[in-house]
Amino acid sequence: MRVLMISLALATAPAFPVAAVDGDYWNYKDWHVSVNRIDTGEDLRITCYAHTGGDGDPVWALEVSNGDAGPPDFFPAPRLIEIAPSHHQTTMQDQQIVQFQFDTGSSVQGEANAYINDEGFFQAEGAPLPNSVLSMLMSMRRAATVEAHIGPNVIATASLSGFTAAYGKMMDECGFSLAMH
């Protein structure tokens, strides 16, 4: 019975590296950071990912790689990722306007990109417009919550508790400055 319980626990474990054992996964209140390291034979490629949500809800995420351009020229864009159940559509539709509203009163406009993912499911990602990425990051740092709106409808909400620490850890692990200006 004990072996069965351990096997079930391992089978249902998240697909992220385990916390603190190898230093590749950290929790910061409602946000999480994972790091994937791949030795290409020529260099070590590091991809850092900060996220919250999941378990059937949309995921709010940022991703950066040590091969990317970094601040102050480039900042990773926060994304709202929605994957619909089999035979269903996503709430966000391609090229639809998504408004990100913060409890501080600030708002950032974004756009959805919808497609069929590699597993055959409808997927949509809402992200701020390219010229609004830094404004979105600064709003996320200052606010406690964010809502994504399509028209008058709230399609997703997230706590920003732990976001600043998770963003800092993600950027640090991939070798970038923590500054958002």
Which amino acid, one-letter code, is at 85? P
Please return the burial class of 76, using the count of CB atoms within 10 Å of its CB with bins 0-12, 13-18 and 19+: buried
Q: Cα-flanking dihedrals φ and ψ of residue 130, to 5°? A: -50, -40
Average pLDDT, the chain: 87
Of residues 18 and 85, the one with the higher pLDDT is 85
Q: What is the DSSP letter of 71?
A: T
pLDDT at 181 over 50: no
pLDDT attached to residue 19: 34
Q: Please report the pLDDT score of residue 11 as a whole number.
A: 32
Residue 104 has φ and ψ, to the nearest 5°, of -80, -10
Two structure tokens written together for 107: 């708002």
Which superfamily does CATH assign the domain made up of 17-173 to? Answer: Invasion associated locus B (IalB) protein (2.60.40.1880)
Is residue 60 a contact partner of residue 146, using CB atoms and an 8 Å limit? yes
**Nearest one of 99, 128, 100, 96 to 112, comparing CA atoms:** 96
Query: What 3-state class would DSSP assign to 8?
Result: helix
Which of the four pLDDT bands, split at 50, 70 and 90, describes residue 152? very high
Please report the pLDDT score of residue 179 as a whole number.
Answer: 53
Mean pLDDT of 86-108: 96
127 to 21, 36, 92: CA distances (angstroms): 33, 23, 11
Residues 111, 96 contacting (CB under 8 angstroms): yes
What pLDDT digit, counting tens, does each position of 35-47 carry?
999 888 899 999 9
> Is residue 4 scored above 50 in pLDDT?
no
Q: pTM for this structure?
A: 0.82
